[in-house]
Structure 1
Amino acid sequence: MRSLLKQIYRYTHSRAYRHNENLWPYLKIERATTGEIITFSYKGLNIPIIELGSLKNSCSGSLLLATTGPSINQIDFSCIPPLAVMGVNGAYHLNNVLNFTHYVIVDMTFIDDRKEVVESIISNTSLILFTTVYGIIKLIQMFGWEKVQCRLALIEDAAFKIYQHKNIHSNLNSVSSIHFHHSLPNIAFNTDIRSGVIDSGTVAYWAMQIAYYLGYERLYIAGLDMANFNLPRFYETPNDILPSRLAESLDSKIIPSFELAARLFREKHINIINLSESSAIDDAIFKKVNYRQAFNLNND
């Protein structure tokens, strides 16, 4: 039946809509006038989601963005003062020392390959998980809806919005909240995630657009090494490394995207501090500061 429905969809829709073929006709959505999905049902099951409009500028103060580079192991998180924490992918291994308030997972293979940590994330009732329609469906399929105890905020790739045609970057020029790199037309950043998030090849970039939208005034980033991709992430072992494609797009997409993000954060007077002193992201983009200096900790 699934293959038949897929064939019907392909016959009745152009290639620009192909990214929706596995969703139809199981998924039903409704959008707000500002573009974001506000109601969502899958196979007749109504899924409660947070309206993104309610989150705009809802936060203040400092946010720690925990990513997964090996330099995480050089930070004693038990010493840093309490603050809001956003994690991505396997950063939840720090749950014993960090109080995660927000989480971002947009890589479906991570859910497949790290089932145990994902199950822990979705059981956290005080956490908001930002993920895509595909992520929510995968959670339902793998764990059952009753296991999803966290709150869900539905985000979309601006280029592949649900039941809409594929958007190339030139089609996004009319969206006032999407800002483009001064010399690279394929590099962009969206300050209003209701109209979609711009992908640059790393979940950290999705998280930065979310943090900007939430309204935080200072952003500390841990584990943003963007180097030595052959080494295990901080929570992995040499025998348990998931492959990374970051090296393929580091120079062409990731670094220019962070350059653009840095400019937009500066314009909003949001200070970004990179706690990875060995990061491949230049100090001119995100200032590198030792975590003890960043949080005014004694060196004793």
Structure 2
Amino acid sequence: MSSFFKQLYRYTHKRPFRHNENLWPYMRISRAASGEIISLNFRGQVIPIVSLASLAGACSGPVMLAATGPSVKDIHFKSPTPVPTMGLNGAWSLHNTVDFKFYVIVDMGFLDKRPEMVAEIVSDPKLTLFTTAHGIARIVDRVSLARIKCSLALIEDAAFKIFQPKIPATELGRCYANVRSTSFAENRPDIGFTTDIRHGVFDAGTVAYWALQIAAYLGFNEMYIIGLDMNNFNQPRFYESENNKLPSFLAESLDELIVPAFTHASHVLKKKNIRVVNLSMKSAISNHIFEKADYHQVFF
């Protein structure tokens, strides 16, 4: 965004709107009565997006969520893939082994630092990619609309909706108190979980938390997670090396945010009879939160 438009935006909009400054004045949206964005125009181009309403309950049975912890290197994957797979960030490195049906990228740093991988992901016509408006803007700018062959499903951070003011973390519980699909952890108005992503998705410092909410909305009732290690942040992710690893900031929020959030998600999903199995046996996310199992015992 040009410095002129950025300064103009900051002059004409209050600070709670600051998260929109890189999209204005290049993006136009419209919303459904239920709140989700249903049309998107960026830099004069109509961006095709999937109707989130059409995805509600569209799936059933099991799904595998592929996170990127180092433990993934120890898995000998069964071929063909035994269940549909939802990839997170750099899990695409498994695409010759795993048949991805869904993908989630909400980390703008990943989009910035892994452009070649992102270009491969969006070129897959069999894939539905869940990302934010900021993510779509980056992809269109750097990959081009013509090269996007996947389906784009636009999701929003519940605290940072497009062209709406930021909701402070401590106010989330109050602002979403009347949304029936949303619940909050006890005494934690900053930790929410939704089973209807049309109202926004709640962040907890890790894309895996977004993926749980998306998978529940899609209708899956059994979730198997690989790579949810959360205890070896100094090591490269399974697809990285020491020379090209990106920094991780998960350790800073593990105890205060991530563990309480997954604990809350566990309570919500159990009430809805949705089973979650953590296939990272040495994960810092305890089996009191998600039961643990070995991939090779589950799928072989």
| Cα distance between partner residues in 1 of 2:3 and 2:22 | 9
1:265 equivalent in structure 2: 269
Single out whichever of 10-19 and 79-88 deviates more from structure 2: 79-88
| Cα distance between partner residues in 2 of 1:180 and 1:9 | 33
Go from structure 1 to structure 2 and tell me whether the alpha carbon gap of 1:81 and 1:40 turns closer, same or farther (over 3 Å shift). Answer: closer
Over the residues paired in the alignment, what is the CA RMSD in angstroms? 1.3
Opposite residue 229 of structure 1, the aligned amino acid is F
| 3-state SS of 2:110 partner | helix
Structure 2 gap segments, 5+ residues each:
none
Q: Normalising by the residue count of structure 2, what TM-score does the alignment of the two structures yield?
A: 0.96
**Contact (CA 8 Å) 2:130, 2:153: kept in 1 or not?**
yes
1:188 equivalent in structure 2: 192
| Cα distance between partner residues in 1 of 2:175 and 2:164 | 13
Written as runs of structure 1 = structure 2, the 5 A alignment for 1:209-224 is 209-224=213-228
- 1:104 shift after superposition: 0.3
- 1:293 shift after superposition: 2.1
| Cα distance between partner residues in 2 of 1:200 and 1:222 | 18
Opposite residue 266 of structure 2, the aligned amino acid is A
| 3-state SS of 1:40 partner | strand
| Cα distance between partner residues in 2 of 1:142 and 1:42 | 13
- 1:82 shift after superposition: 2.5
Go from structure 1 to structure 2 and tell me whether the alpha carbon gap of 1:141 and 1:81 turns closer, same or farther (over 3 Å shift). Answer: closer
1:161 equivalent in structure 2: 161
2:145 equivalent in structure 1: 145
- 1:115 shift after superposition: 1.4
> Are 2:197 and 1:201 aligned?
no
Opposite residue 102 of structure 1, the aligned amino acid is F
Opposite residue 78 of structure 2, the aligned amino acid is S
Q: Normalising by the residue count of structure 1, what TM-score does the alignment of the two structures yield?
A: 0.96
Written as runs of structure 1 = structure 2, the 5 A alignment for 1:229-244 is 229-244=233-248
2:122 equivalent in structure 1: 122
1:51 equivalent in structure 2: 51
1:174 equivalent in structure 2: 178
| 3-state SS of 2:276 partner | strand
- 1:81 shift after superposition: 5.0
> Are 2:279 and 1:275 aligned?
yes
Structure 1 gap segments, 5+ residues each:
none
* Percentage of pairs with the same residue: 52
Structure 1's consecutive aligned runs of 4 or more residues displaced over 4 angstroms after TM superposition are none
- 1:228 shift after superposition: 1.1
Opposite residue 286 of structure 2, the aligned amino acid is D
- 1:185 shift after superposition: 2.1
- 1:21 shift after superposition: 1.4
Written as runs of structure 1 = structure 2, the 5 A alignment for 1:283-294 is 283-294=287-298
| Number of residues of Structure 1 aligned to a counterpart in Structure 2 | 296
Opposite residue 183 of structure 1, the aligned amino acid is N
| Cα distance between partner residues in 2 of 1:18 and 1:72 | 38
